[in-house]
Structure 1
Amino acid sequence: MGPDFLSIAMFVVLLIAVFLGHPLGITLGGLGIIFGLIGYGPGAFFILTSKTYGLMTNYVLVAIPLFILMAQFLDKSGVAEDLYESMYIVFGPVRGGLAMATIVVSTVFAATTGIIGASVVAMGLLAAPTMLSKGYKKELTAGVITAGGTLGILIPPSIMLVVYGGLIGMSVGKLFLAAFIPGVTLSILYLIYVGILCYFKPEYGPPLPKEERTHTLKRKIGMTLKSMLPPLFLIFAVLGSIAGGIATPTEAAGLGSVGALILAILNKRANLQFFKDSAYSTLKITCMVMLIFVGANFYTSIFMGLGGGDMFEKLLFSISSNKWIVLAIMMFIMFLLGMFVDWLGILLLCVPIFTPIAVNQLGFDPLWFALIVCVNLQMSFLTPPFGYALFYLKGVAPEGMHLSHIYRGIIPFVILQLIGLVLIVMFPEIVTWLPNLIMN
């Protein structure tokens, strides 16, 4: 069997295994061993050992469990509850105000957690019952909660950006800076959409009744400042220390974990159960991420060694030599995979293959390409049938909100994410301006 046949068979078997529902990390590692033995013989075990040791010595990846721990501390600290309560009062009198408040809180929460599950579950528990009780449409409620929650994987500190940087050797700090404006841009697009929709169709998001608008302007400002200061302190501690050159992303992750712990202590949430739950969740998520990381790294090494990367490059350029068409094909492939495969698997499989083509053959800026990949992968959390954000919300949704409401609710927000992706392609400065300003 020739290398071309082996690489094609390796990719096809992977797709079949994933669609059958087999665990991704074990599937990747197992296929790497099987096809590695066929292609390299016993030397495949040396490749596995070498790649695994390389991951163990990658200092950047230490940030992953630290950021996960920070997210767990913050999720249980009560910061989101205080922030949503104040935003509820500030935005409530406006049409669609509670939906806007949910997006604002999700954006701030995204900038302090980096994990979608925490954001979607927290906002599902906080915002969904309130919005539905005030007459908001179930579809709009589901859409803003899931779309707002997915910002956690893009707005720094993001686990996806840490993994991306560790995977291809790119500065995580630079990725953090580059992702900030695209993430905020998506948040603004969501706010504009909700504002326009509820202005013309107030039944989708009615304002609070006048009898519930009892707070003075001074009281609203005070509540907003009090609830905003803790998360802003954490954001400044993490991103400010990186941008200012005071700390590496790994050190900033440790600093963020301490900051989140301080907030939990101040909110009187830090008891024995708090530490136990946070530690257990961190251990479980970290083990899952690193198992997939080891399996995908080994799989990709065997696949590329058998000539899969060259074969894929020839296939792409046989379709078209226009770099924008080739880019569109790569984005479409990742979009389709996002409907069925976890973002981590797509990232670890596609980025080592696509990045050399995009940077070396097509001449794209590696930082810009990294961000359009991450914005694309953000959509994987919303696209049926296996969008994780949809199932996170369904697990905590109030009675009466069905999966059909959630599926219908995410459609406009997937379109908005596609618009955001197009804007980044058309205006690369959305990505490059901030890192160039600060790093230079």
Structure 2
Amino acid sequence: MSYELIAILMFSSMMLMLMTGQRVFGAIGGIASIAALTLWGTGGSDIPFSAAMKVMKWYPMLTLPMFIFMGYVLSESRLADDLYKMFHVWMGPINGGLAIGTIGLMVLISAMNGLSVAGMAIGATIALPELLKRGYDKRMVTGVVQAGSSLGILVPPSVVLVLYAMIARQPVGQLWLAGILPGLMMAGLFILYIYIRCRIQPELGPALSEEDVSSVPRAEKIRLLRSGLLPLTIFASMMVPFLNGWTSLVESSAIGALAAFIAAVLKGRMTREVFETSTRMTLAISCMFMWIVLAALGFGAVFDGLGAVKAIDNLFTEQLGLDPWVILILMQLSFLLMGTFLDDTAMLVIVAPLYVPLVKVLGFDLIWYGVLYTITTQIAYMTPPFGYNLFLMRAMAPPEIGIKDIYSSIIPFVLVMLGSLILIMVFPQIAMWLPNYVYGK
């Protein structure tokens, strides 16, 4: 049996195992172990073991529990409530202002947590009821919450980009910097769409009445502004020392976690229940990510040992004569397809052994490709009929919002995200300028 056929058999077996409902790390790691032992005997166990040891020695891995803990402390202590109250007061007087404020809320939540699911949960529980109560169109606001939550895996500290860095063996700091401008650009395009749409159709996002605006004293507005800026202060305390070279990535993550904990204590919201929930969820998610990364690296080591990447590159570029850009676009389309039934982490670890080395062989920058990956997977999350975020929204939304509303609400925002993806593909410097500037390339 040729190595190419063995590689195809491994990949198809892994997909079959996943379709049976097996845990992601079990399916991927199990296939890798069986293949290694079958091909090379007991000595084959050294291949995935060596890959696992690389993770154990990878110092930035310590950032994962820190960032996850920081995000859960801020969300469980309800400090995010102050953010929305701030946007409610300061942005409410203009048409669509609360929806625009919700996008701003999502950007800040992303900077606090790094997980899109957390942004979705906070948006659906805090922003969505308020927007509906103020007379906003239900389809408009449903799309706003889903689109805003998509920024969670792009704006630093993105947990998914940390995982990508481990698997692609790229610097986390450069990936985070590469995600900042695309994330802010996408948020800006969302805001521009909401503003223009609500100017044309004011009934979709009515402004707050003068009575509601005047009922809030100026002193209260200033207090809310200070409270709402607290998460920004936490983010700055973590990122400024890192970008200036005063602290390492791990030290910055520890500063962020400690700052979030202190803020919750000073606000009187660090209860026993909040601390226990935050700690428990941090442990659960960190362990899940660790197992998935271990399995992915083990699979990738066996897959690469077969020479599968070179065989696939030869098939596409020499035998089929495809241009590298065509291959890249086909890879992005495959993400859209997989996103109908897998989450972003599963998509990454399934295709990383194949795609990441192939991208490098084709001559593309792996930092730039990490940004493309995150955007494409979030588009896949929101693409009917089986988008992951669509079902999360259905579970969290009030009864008056049906599945038809959820599906139709996301269409304009998906188009905006596709436009952003195309812009970054055509103009790579949107993603690469900031890391190149900071790291002096």
When the two structures are superposed, what TM-score results if normalisation uses the length of structure 1? 0.94
Deviation at 1:261, TM superposition (A): 0.5
- What's the CA shift string for 1:362-403, capped at 9, x where partnerless? x22332222222222232332345533333333322232233
Q: How many residue pairs align between the two structures?
A: 439
Tell me what 2:165 maps to: 165
Matched, 1:33 2:33: yes
> 1:231-289 CA deviation, whole Å, 9 max, x = no partner?
11111122212211112222111111001101111221111111110111111111211
User: 1:74-99: per-residue Cα shift (whole Å, max 9, x none)?
Assistant: 11232210110110112212211111
Contact 1:124 1:393 in 2 (8 A): yes
Return the alpha-carbon distance in structure 1 between the equivalents of residues 249 and 391 of structure 2: 31
Which residue in 1 is equivalent to 2:367?
Answer: 367
The AA in structure 1 aligned to 2:329 is A
Does the Cα contact within 8 Å between 1:173 and 1:248 map onto a contact in 2? no
SS of the residue aligned with 1:232?
helix
Q: Which amino acid aligns with 1:339?
A: T
The residue type paired with residue 338 of structure 1 is G
> Given residue 357 of structure 1, which amino acid in structure 2 is its aligned partner?
L
Which has the higher mean CA deviation after the structures are superposed, 317-326 or 26-35? 317-326
Q: Does 1:355 align with 2:348?
A: no
1:193 corresponds in structure 2 to: 193
- Residue 292 of structure 2 corresponds to which residue in structure 1? 292
Q: Partner letter of residue 260 of structure 2?
A: A
Query: AA paired with 1:417?
Result: M
Do the aligned residues in 1 keep the contact of 2:309 with 2:357 (CA within 8 Å)? Answer: no
CA RMSD of aligned residues (A): 2.0
Show structure 2 runs of 5+ residues with no match: none
- Residue in 2 aligned with 1:394? 394
Query: What's 2:311 paired with?
Result: 311
Counterpart amino acid of residue 8 in structure 2: I
Aligned-pair identity in percent equals 33
Question: C-alpha displacement at 1:216, in angstroms?
Answer: 7.0
Q: Any gaps of 5 or more consecutive residues in structure 1?
A: none
Whole-angstrom distance in 2 between the partners of 1:439 and 1:396: 42
Paired with 1:220 and 1:311, the residues of 2 have a C-alpha distance of 65
Greater shift, 207-216 or 8-17, is seen at: 207-216
Give the structure 2 partner of residue 421 of structure 1.
421
| Aligned equivalents of 2:285, 2:386: Cα separation in 1 | 19
Report deviation, 1:5: 1.6
Q: Structure 1 residue 219: deviation in Å?
A: 4.8
- Contact 2:25-2:295 at 8 Å conserved across structures: yes
Q: What are the superposed Cα offsets for residues 264-317 of structure 1, whole Å, 9 maximum, x if unpaired? A: 112211111111101111111112111111111112222222232223223332
Aligned pairs (5 A) from 1:18-417: 18-214=18-214, 218-219=218-219, 222-223=222-223, 225-317=225-317, 318-361=319-362, 363-417=363-417
| C-alpha contact (below 8 Å) 2:332/2:373 kept by paired residues | yes
* CA-CA distance at 1:189 after TM superposition: 0.9
Q: How many angstroms does 1:327 deviate by? A: 1.6
Closer/same/farther in 2, CA of residues 274 and 98 from structure 1, 3 Å limit: same
Give the C-alpha shift of residue 180 in structure 1: 0.6
Query: Contact 2:148–2:187 at 8 Å: present in 1 too?
Result: yes
Kept in 2, the 8 Å contact 1:103–1:187? The answer is yes
Task: Rate the CA distance shift 1:66–1:185 in 2: closer, same or farther, 3 A.
Answer: same
Measure how far apart 1:224 and its partner are: 5.3
Query: Whole-Å Cα distance in 2 between the matches of residues 404 and 209 of structure 1?
Result: 31
Question: Counterpart amino acid of 1:282?
Answer: T
Whether the 8 Å contact between 2:336 and 2:377 is mirrored in structure 1 is yes
Amino acid in structure 2 at the alignment position of 1:416: V
- List, as ranges, runs of 4+ consecutive aligned residues in structure 1 with deviation greater than 3 Å: 215-221, 318-321, 384-388
User: What CA distance in whole angstroms lies between the structure 2 residues aligned with 1:56 and 1:213?
Assistant: 55
Cα 1:319–1:21 shift into 2, 3 Å? farther
Counterparts of 1:254 and 1:269, CA distance in 2: 20
Shift of 1:37: 2.4
Query: 3-state SS of the aligned residue for 1:326?
Result: helix
- TM-aligned CA deviation for residue 129 of structure 1: 0.8
Which is further off, 5-14 or 340-349? 340-349
Deviations 1:384-435 (A, max 9, x none): 4553333333332223223332222222212211111111112222112222
Change (3 A) 1:301 1:123: same
Deviation at 1:217, TM superposition (A): 9.1
Question: Cα–Cα, structure 1 residues 22 and 404, in superposed 2: closer, same or farther, change >3 Å?
Answer: farther
Q: 1:334 Cα shift? A: 2.0
- CA displacement at 1:192 relative to structure 2: 0.9
8 Å contact kept, 2:340–2:388? no
CA deviation map 1:320-365 (0-9, x unaligned)? 432221221121122222222221122223334323333333x223
TM-score, normalised to structure 2, is 0.94
CA distance in 1: counterparts of 2:219 and 2:346, whole angstroms: 47
CA shift in 2, pair 1:386/1:267, >3 Å: farther
Residue aligned with 1:12, SS? helix
Where 1:197 maps in the other structure, the secondary structure is helix
Q: For 1:215 and 1:320, how far apart are their aligned partners in 2?
A: 68
8 Å contact 2:296–2:353 — kept in the other structure? no
Secondary structure in 2 matching 1:41: helix
